[in-house]
Amino acid sequence: MQTLKESYPCQPSAAAGQKVLELTVNNHPGVMSHICGLFSRRAFNMEGILCMPIGDGKLSRIWIQIAGTSQLDQIVKQLEKLEDVRTVVSHPAEHEVFAKLEEYFQGS
């Protein structure tokens, strides 16, 4: 994936050691439980998650921000094993999806 570092040179979310994952999943009521459950039971660090249906609603797109890259390989492999996960794409931390949302996550 192309890095977007130039356009967002100093976003706080672009701190070293973060990653953004883009998942395409089957859209049904249990799929978020599968994803979140995987992160909690395997002690993977999840900083943020976004999920919305795409296309005709049969699929959803999930964006996940993870802290620390040491577990990245395992996270991707374990996600790919989930039956409802169609694809996993790993982006650098600078991916704009979470940066663009920042204004909705202000405050103390």
Partner 1 sequence: MNKMNGAQLTIKLLERFGVGIIAGIPGGSNLPLYDALSHSTTIRHVLARHEQGAGFIAQGMARSSGRPAVCFATSGPGATNVMTALADAKLDSIPIICITGQVPQSLIGTDAFQEIDTYGMSIPITKHNFLVRSARELLEVIPAAFRIASEGRPGPVLIDIPKDVQLEMVEFADWPAMPQRECVKQYRKQDIEQAAAMINAAERPILFLGGGIRHGNAHDAAIRLAEKNNLPTTMTLLGLGSMPTEHPLALGMLGMHAARYTNLAMEECDLLLVAGARFDDRATGKIAEFCPGAKIIHIDIDPGEINKLRTAHLQLVGDAGSVLAELLPQVESKSRQDWLNRMAFLKKENSFIIEGADDPRMPYGLIRQIAALADHETLIATDVGKHQMWVAQTYPFCRPRQLLTSGGLGTMGFGLPAAIGASLAHPQRTVVCFSGDGSILMNIQELATAVEQRANVKIFVLDNTSLGLVRQQQNLFFGKQYFASEYQHHVDFVTIARGFGMQAFALGASDDPVATLTEAMQTRGPCLVHVPIGRNEEVYPMVPPGAANKEMIGGENHANA
Binding site for partner 1 (CB under 8 A): 29-30, 33-34, 37, 41, 73-74, 77-78, 80-83
75's tokens: 């996270």
Q: Which of 5, 53, 6, 56 is nearest to 31 (CA)?
A: 53
The nearest distance, CB 91 to partner 1, in angstroms, is: 21
Please identify, using beta-carbon distances, which residue of 80 and 102 lies nearer to partner 1.
80
Please identify, using beta-carbon distances, which residue of 8 and 69 lies nearer to partner 1.
69
The nearest distance, CB 94 to partner 1, in angstroms, is: 26
DSSP strands (E only) in 1-108: 18-26, 46-54, 59-67, 85-92
Give the integer Cα–Cα distance in Å for 53 and 94.
Answer: 23
CA distances from 92 to 64, 76, 103 (A): 12, 14, 21
The nearest distance, CB 105 to partner 1, in angstroms, is: 28
Please identify, using beta-carbon distances, which residue of 33 and 108 lies nearer to partner 1.
33
Please identify, using beta-carbon distances, which residue of 90 and 96 lies nearer to partner 1.
90
Backbone angles phi and psi of 107, in degrees to 5: 110, 170
The nearest distance, CB 21 to partner 1, in angstroms, is: 16
